[in-house]
């Protein structure tokens, strides 16, 4: 028996950045989530805990 394929309608949002410290306020400008400041630490990428936007270090 095959299970149905589930697809997400949302496009994955990836932003390439040159700093390990970034800020995110959501995709809708002032109507987005509260502005948060995030630090990658020892990693080269991170995901915003509010909107799931991905930040990757270049």
Q: Does a structural domain hold residue 5?
A: no
Q: Does a structural domain hold residue 26?
A: yes
Contact 57, 45 (CB under 8 A): yes
Domain that holds residue 24: 14-57
Q: Residue 44: its pLDDT value, please?
A: 98
Q: Does a structural domain hold residue 3?
A: no
Q: What is the number of domains present in the chain?
A: 1
Residue 57: its H or E element? strand 54-57
Q: Does a structural domain hold residue 9?
A: no
Q: Does a structural domain hold residue 50?
A: yes
Tens digits of pLDDT across the chain (58 residues): 565 664 444 567 899 999 999 999 988 777 889 999 999 999 999 999 999 999 999 9
Q: Residue 47: its pLDDT value, please?
A: 97
Q: Does a structural domain hold residue 1?
A: no
The CATH number linked to 41 is 2.60.260.40
- Kindly tell me the burial class for residue 57, based on how many C-beta atoms sit within 10 Å of its own C-beta (0-12, 13-18, 19 or more): middle
pTM score: 0.75
């Amino acid at each position: 028996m095959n299970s149905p394929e589930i697809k997400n309608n949302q496009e994955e949002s990836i932003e390439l950045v040159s700093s390990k410290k970034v800020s995110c306020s959501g995709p809708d400008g002032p109507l987005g989530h509260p502005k948060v400041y995030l630090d990658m630490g020892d990693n080269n990428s991170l995901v915003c805990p509010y909107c799931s936007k991905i930040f990757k270090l270049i």
